[in-house]
Amino acid sequence: MSFNEGEETQLVERAAAGNNEAFAALFEAYYSMINGFAYRMCFIREDAQDVAQETFIKAARSLQSFNKRTSFKQWLYRIALNTCHDRNRSQVRKERIATAYAEEGQTLEVADYSFVHRALESLDESLRLTITLVYMEGMSHADAASVLGCAEATMSWRIFMARRKLKRLIGDAA
Amino acid sequence: MKDDMLDRALRGISLPAPSEEARAKALARALVALSNSDAVSAHRHGIGLRWILATGAITVVCAILIFVLPKSSVESSPTDTSILGQVAKLFPDRLEAVVERQGSVDVLLAQSDLPLSEQPVILVLSRGREVVRVLSYGGRRVCLRLNGQEACVEVLAEGDGNVIVAGKDFVWSKGNPVQVEGFSLRAHILSPLS
């Protein structure tokens, strides 16, 4: 499901007024996208589902504070990003990821590109986020900069750094 | 490694699809959060902030009375019908119930297709301050954990608008109220959305 900007604005306004149908339409349009983003950030399917759920609960609670001058999609990304940050701070989670890698493919849904996963996981979070938003979510540098709250030039620099590191890491592993 | 190989590697990461159940639970929980948000409540009732503050004290007193006084009717709203309807759109043939308990929301799905039913109903089970709200449809079988025990009930919606709830060894109706695992039960049909 996709909307043009005007339709989306109307849906957001109706949802903010408590219209369940409008909120469900927004949910349908963006749930898979946010779940995919969360998976790329969390690497564990169940965690990604929890983050996606939490993202929409937070969005539902704070729709009234949504600034209509920004993109609803980017706003959702920011909520998901903050939710991921909160989770990733947990030491327990870091141990879960380590265990998941050790079990190789049982907890993680790792297919042919497990070495890419590993390389991404080893990047600093800011670089990993940049790669995730630009290459996997298909965002422009400007949109990704807006989600991350940094300058577009910073994004370009991060992309350069991330690609250089990934080339080395993946090149070694492949 | 060349640039195009890196691009292919990054874009080639497969994403596991979220489970249908996780999707349904996420929607149900978000819709309940939406209906419970203060801002939405105020918007629905056209209430301004100053009015909310001015009537805050009265609200507190009313809230206390709600806990103290016995309840004579089942608490429900058009939002309940709407939430049930939106979740049912995801699983038109498998949704057994949306269960709200102490602020958490669960979605019960059947393993196989259920008979078609269009009459939404609400069951409210309460014991002290513990309240379990069950949104379902007439004709559905719903299993809940109550007081550490699993209690399964059949919900029947009658043509005259009354609801009958049948368990393993009891039948509840408006004229024959019985307790279920120590919980008092109230039930009635929900109005379809206009």
DSSP assignment string, A91-155: HHHHHHHHHHHHH-SSSS---TTHHHHHHHHHS-HHHHHHHIIIIIS---HHHHHHHHTS-HHHH
Helix B20-36 and helix B78-90, axial crossing angle in degrees, nearest 10: 160
Structure confidence at residue B185 (pLDDT): 94
- Fill in the amino acid letter for B16: P
Q: Decide which of A93 and A112 is more confident.
A: A93
Asked if A135's CB is within 8 angstroms of B7's CB, the reply is yes
B12: in domain:
no
Residues A165, A81, single domain; the answer is no
Provide the β-strand partners of residue B165. Answer: B155, B172
What residues of A are in contact with residue B9 (Cβ under 8 Å)?
113, 116, 170
B194: in domain:
no
Number of domains in chain B: 1
Select the residue of B16, B22, B31 nearest A20 (Cβ to Cβ): B31
Select the residue of B9, B26, B85 nearest A53 (Cβ to Cβ): B26
In B69-130, alpha helices (H)? 78-90
B7: in domain:
no
The residues in A 45-64 lying below 8 A from B, measured between CB atoms, are 45, 48-49, 52-53, 56-57, 59-64
ipTM: 0.80
The minimum CA-CA distance between B177 and chain A, rounded to whole Å, is: 33
Residues A91, A44, single domain; the answer is yes
Q: What is the pLDDT along chain B (194 residues), one digit of tens a residue?
A: 677 778 777 777 767 778 888 999 999 999 999 988 765 555 555 544 444 444 454 444 334 434 433 343 456 677 888 899 889 888 878 889 999 998 888 999 888 777 777 789 999 999 998 999 999 999 889 999 998 889 999 999 887 888 999 998 899 998 999 999 999 999 999 887 65
Residues A78, A161, single domain; the answer is no
Nearest to A26 by CA among A46, A9, A45: A9
Provide the β-strand partners of residue B172. Answer: B165
Q: A14 falls in which pLDDT band (50, 70, 90)?
A: very high
CATH number at residue A171: 1.10.10.10
Q: How many CB atoms lie within 10 A of CB B175?
A: 6
CB B21 within 8 A of CB B107: yes
Give me the mean pLDDT over the A10-16 stretch: 93
B32: in domain:
yes
Structure confidence at residue B68 (pLDDT): 39
Asked if A109's CB is within 8 angstroms of B22's CB, the reply is no
Residues A118, A153, single domain; the answer is yes
Helix B20-36 and helix B38-45, axial crossing angle in degrees, nearest 10: 60
Residues A26, A99, single domain; the answer is yes
Q: Which of A59, A80, A104 is the last residue of a domain?
A: A104
Q: A62 falls in which pLDDT band (50, 70, 90)?
A: very high
Structure confidence at residue B5 (pLDDT): 76
- Asked if A12 has any chain B CB less than 8 Å from its own CB, the reply is no
Extract the tokens encoding B35. 């209906």
> What is the rounded distance in angstroms from the CA atom of residue A49 to the CA atom of residue A31?
10
Residues A32, A95, single domain; the answer is yes
Number of domains in chain A: 2
> What is the rounded distance in angstroms from the CA atom of residue A110 to the CA atom of residue A79?
26
Mean pLDDT score across all residues of chain A: 82
Structure confidence at residue A101 (pLDDT): 57
Q: Which of A64, A81, A104 is the last residue of a domain?
A: A104
B9: in domain:
no
Residues A90, A173, single domain; the answer is no
* Highest-confidence segment of A9-23, A64-78, A127-141, B106-120: A9-23
B26: in domain:
yes
- Asked if A66 has any chain B CB less than 8 Å from its own CB, the reply is no
Extract the tokens encoding A58. 């937070």
Structure confidence at residue B94 (pLDDT): 86
Residues A47, A123, single domain; the answer is no
B3: in domain:
no
CA distances from A112 to A116, A151, B58, B94 (A): 9, 34, 62, 34
Is pTM beyond 0.90? Reply is: no
CA angle B16, B18, B19 (to 5 degrees): 120
Question: What order of strands is seen across the sheet that includes strand B141-146?
Answer: B141-146, B149-157, B163-166, B171-172
> What is the rounded distance in angstroms from the CA atom of residue A2 to the CA atom of residue A29?
6
Q: Containing domain of residue B129, as a range?
A: 20-189
Residues A132, A48, single domain; the answer is no
Residue of B nearest to A115 (CA): B9
Q: Which of A48, A83, A104 is the last residue of a domain?
A: A104
Q: Containing domain of residue A55, as a range?
A: 1-104
